[in-house]
Structure 1
Amino acid sequence: MKKSTRRRISILVIEDDPGDLGLIRSNVRLAGLKRIGEDDPVIWASTLADGIAAAAFNKPDVVLLDLSLPDSAGITTVERMRAAAPTVPIIVLTGQDDHQLAEAALQAGAQDYLPKAQLFQHDALGRAIRHALVRQKLESRLHLLDAALNAVASGIVITDLSAAIEWANPAFTQITGFATAEVVGHNPGEMLNSGKQDGHFYEGMWQTILAGRVWTGELVNRRKNGSLFDAALTISPVTGGDGSIRHFVAIMQDISERKATDERVQHLAHHDQLTDLPNRMLLSDRLFQALAQVRREHGTLAVMFLDLDDFKPVNDTLGHDVGDLLLKEVALRLRGCAPRSSDTVARVGGDEFVILLAQIDKAADAAVVARKVLAAVKRPFAIGPHRIDISTSIGIAVYPEHGEDVSRLLKNADTAMYHAKKAGRSCYRFFRELAETTRA
């Protein structure tokens, strides 16, 4: 026969009447709470002080507490016992069948109330003890769940079917800046709306959750102080026994820091660390996009390849620190020569730069920008105590005349730059054979 795995329970009886104690023991045995061969589960204490000491030593599963004891009486007895054993279920036993007293005992922390006259009723005590143990287990689970929900770093809210908040955990208030009292009864979507999502966004969200499906996504929310934050949000419908939706549970994470980190990583991957200009990778991507647009619109663009003249002597004589500072100043001046948002100024090598003019009407427009660049770079640079005079040579390739793809345009602009170098430097040249050199 399989051995029973039922755990033996321990019952602390705090009762000063030996006759009542004997009655309780009989009822415990009749209720099946003590099996043949088992030790007596009842621990007896005749005073509250002894009962408190017994509870601390024996760790009982349930306490049967008489309200009239030699050292304590009334509701105070419950309060003192609850303070001494806060997690142990208490069943109050009394000779008085008083509903007001019962209610007061329950409010003081008792789990149940049983007049002693009912001990003679079939299994009344057994039922009370079993129910108290079940309720205690459920309450323990609820306390554990509540502690877990309150401890997690994610913001959690529970709403009714109309999205009015019924409960919010501390993380939600910490993330949003709204106190719990401020959010209960309000719609979180309305309180946190940043205006960054349009009506179609929220319409799709509601269609999903009202259909009983989980919705996940990212959005921008607004805190109580008005600041914006990026949030990852999951909303799950909660259904009742009949399958109808009763509540929604929303779990929100503040991902602003993660998004900012991702953006920094992306920025570093696509920008030159010294000048913060786009690097060759980002330039190629923007040139590819610009080519796609001018093909659709039958337009024109230009690629300008720049190489600084006599930059190496600056590094050799003044040092690389001065050379780096000079490159940063050159980058600032080049930005000023191509102020349109569609233009791109990139650093593609040590002292090599590229300017993408994504929208021009004719090739002569590129020549205008080239002359501005030549003049800007020719102005003396003040780097610390040093006055530095340099210039630049520029090669220009125009779409579609000088190439129709990214690599061809960049290569031909580079070739044109070398022709400008050969022509005497500090000048620009278009990619075409026998082109005339224009000096600044």
Structure 2
Amino acid sequence: MNKSTRRPISILVIEDDPGDLGLIRTNVRLAGLRSMGQDDPVIWASTLADGMAAAAVSKPDVILLDLSLPDSSGIATVEAMRATAPAVPIIVLTGQDDHQLAEAALHAGAQDYLAKGQLFQQDALGRAIRHALVRQKLESRLRLFDAALNAVASGIMITDVTAAITWANPAFTEITGFTMSEVVGRNPGAMLNSGKQDRRFYEGMWQTILVGRVWTGELVNRRKNGSHFDAALTISPVTGGDGNIHHFVAVMQDISARKATDERVQHLAHHDQLTDLPNRMLLSDRLFQSLAQVRREQGTLAVMFLDLDDFKPVNDTLGHDIGDLLLKEVALRLRGCVPRNSDTVARLGGDEFVVLLAQIDQAADAAVVARKILTAVMRPFVIGPHHITISTSIGIAVYPQHGDEVSGLLKNADTAMYHAKKAGRGCYRFFRELAETTRA
């Protein structure tokens, strides 16, 4: 050890033989070990009880422990000392070279084992002390890392190159529902596979990590109880000194709550809060998409603009709470009138609704739906103690006859609705009929 790299240490020697103590002091001096402020770093205790008291007071860096003391002997001596100074490395000293005893001492918590006859062999004691201090520092760091890994909220697992799990932290078992004994040795891909990702997804993942690159992505995993959860996953390859990949470290977060919140925010941004129907923004988006499709296929679609008749008196006489409940019931009936999932019922605001029939064969198909809506809305609504009867006026614009753009179709359907109002309410009108009437 270079003098510039030596640091002052204290060595607690628990030894009842003064002659052996002298040998130890000589070897410590030859090894160049020194203490703060004095040459001799050795603190001496001749019994286990005195040694335990000295350890508590002096806080030594290392303990040299004889297994044969006046008040204790054997492995019990190591166990007692380890309980007193759990963070201090212990080097066991015995008068015989007993490998079974050495192994038992190591299992009991000793860092190293040295027969007294080896003290003068090639700086054996000095090397044992230095190595014990280095190992203790590494073990302390490992314990810190282990505590940190076990405390984090993210699930962490380590696999070998065959994708067999060798270790997982408590968060991983909490997220997945599998215990540690259930995950070790298993393939996480098979264990957590929800069926939501196809083979190409996993092939892309493996192609990335097998060439030594980090893979990051999101997927749906399956818990032990069969339920699914959204996960953000990062997999990092770990290479050895030979440059080959030996392990993979995966860090997983359960992002189900975040995804649900994001989806809820998106839903609220595109749906009417009262009726949960698509709002004007989502309607426009769907109308753009439907127009693009019917243009490609040279098909037909219809936009129906609805306004409830005499809705204002309901609000004025019964109150806005009843009016809101009425609008929710109207929305439910309108949903029941559209023939396909691809069709859209939207609320623009107030008592105005729009129905998009994304694909029809002819304009008469829109008339069939309009008559169905008129009948459904005119049936009495029972809201609390109130029996409410209303009707609706409907204007219809058909692509491509009455417009070929979103704004034009909505405007023409709105215009047709006002003419339905003028025609007596509770009826429907096509935009083309208006043009024919004007010409006449």
> TM-score, normalized by length of structure 2?
0.96
Partner of 1:299: 299
Instruction: State the alpha-carbon separation in 2 of the partners of residues 381 and 412 from structure 1.
Output: 30
AA aligned to 1:282 is L
Instruction: State the alpha-carbon separation in 1 of the partners of residues 329 and 139 from structure 2.
Output: 69
Q: Does 1:148 align with 2:134?
A: no
CA contact (8 A) 2:416 2:434 kept: no
AA aligned to 2:432 is R
Question: CA shift at 1:235, angstroms?
Answer: 1.1
CA contact (8 A) 1:429 1:435 kept: no
Instruction: State the alpha-carbon separation in 1 of the partners of residues 342 and 274 from structure 2.
Output: 23
Q: Does 1:11 align with 2:4?
A: no
Partner of 2:309: 309
Question: CA shift at 1:5, angstroms?
Answer: 8.0
Partner of 1:321: 321
Label 1:156 to 1:316 Cα distance change in 2 as closer, same or farther (>3 A). Answer: same
1:172-231 CA-partner distances (Å, limit 9, x unpaired):
111111111111111110111111111111111111111111111111111111111111
Partner of 1:99: 99
Corresponding residue SS for 2:86: coil
Q: Which runs of 4+ in 1 moved over 4 A?
A: 3-6
Instruction: State the alpha-carbon separation in 2 of the partners of residues 264 and 284 from structure 1.
Output: 20
Corresponding residue SS for 1:434: helix
CA contact (8 A) 2:397 2:430 kept: yes
Q: Say which is worse superposed, 120-129 or 353-362, in terms of deviation.
A: 120-129
Question: CA shift at 1:432, angstroms?
Answer: 2.7
Matches within 5 A, 1:242-257: 242-257=242-257
Label 1:430 to 1:81 Cα distance change in 2 as closer, same or farther (>3 A). Answer: same
Partner of 2:70: 70
Q: Say which is worse superposed, 33-42 or 267-276, in terms of deviation.
A: 33-42
Instruction: State the alpha-carbon separation in 2 of the partners of residues 205 and 50 from structure 1.
Output: 61
Instruction: State the alpha-carbon separation in 2 of the partners of residues 191 and 343 from structure 1.
Output: 40
Corresponding residue SS for 1:226: coil
Partner of 2:337: 337
Q: Say which is worse superposed, 119-128 or 251-260, in terms of deviation.
A: 119-128
AA aligned to 1:309 is D
Q: Does 1:261 align with 2:255?
A: no
Instruction: State the alpha-carbon separation in 1 of the partners of residues 435 and 394 from structure 2.
Output: 13
Partner of 1:131: 131
Partner of 1:290: 290
Partner of 1:367: 367
Instruction: State the alpha-carbon separation in 2 of the partners of residues 415 and 41 from structure 1.
Output: 100
Partner of 1:215: 215
AA aligned to 1:150 is N
Question: CA shift at 1:121, angstroms?
Answer: 2.4
Corresponding residue SS for 1:86: coil
User: What residue ranges of structure 2 are gaps of 5+ in the alignment?
Assistant: none
Matches within 5 A, 1:221-240: 221-240=221-240
1:251-286 CA-partner distances (Å, limit 9, x unpaired):
111111111111111111111111111111111111
CA contact (8 A) 1:157 1:168 kept: yes
Partner of 1:189: 189
1:319-349 CA-partner distances (Å, limit 9, x unpaired):
0000000000000100011141000001101
AA aligned to 2:104 is A
Corresponding residue SS for 2:336: helix
Label 1:162 to 1:122 Cα distance change in 2 as closer, same or farther (>3 A). Answer: closer
> TM-score, normalized by length of structure 1?
0.96
Q: Say which is worse superposed, 105-114 or 32-41, in terms of deviation.
A: 32-41
CA contact (8 A) 2:35 2:41 kept: no
Question: CA shift at 1:23, angstroms?
Answer: 2.0
Partner of 1:281: 281
Partner of 1:202: 202
Partner of 2:162: 162
CA contact (8 A) 2:93 2:115 kept: yes
CA contact (8 A) 2:9 2:36 kept: no
CA contact (8 A) 2:8 2:36 kept: no
Q: Does 1:394 align with 2:404?
A: no
Q: Share of identical aligned residues, percent?
A: 87
Corresponding residue SS for 2:277: coil
Matched positions, count: 435
Instruction: State the alpha-carbon separation in 1 of the partners of residues 75 and 436 from structure 2.
Output: 107
CA contact (8 A) 2:271 2:277 kept: yes
Instruction: State the alpha-carbon separation in 2 of the partners of residues 399 and 434 from structure 1.
Output: 16
Instruction: State the alpha-carbon separation in 2 of the partners of residues 429 and 39 from structure 1.
Output: 108
Instruction: State the alpha-carbon separation in 1 of the partners of residues 124 and 310 from structure 2.
Output: 103
Question: CA shift at 1:4, angstroms?
Answer: 6.0
Question: CA shift at 1:310, angstroms?
Answer: 0.5
User: What residue ranges of structure 1 are gaps of 5+ in the alignment?
Assistant: none
Label 1:37 to 1:324 Cα distance change in 2 as closer, same or farther (>3 A). Answer: closer
CA contact (8 A) 2:306 2:417 kept: yes
Matches within 5 A, 1:408-423: 408-423=408-423
CA contact (8 A) 2:402 2:412 kept: yes
Instruction: State the alpha-carbon separation in 1 of the partners of residues 418 and 36 from structure 2.
Output: 105
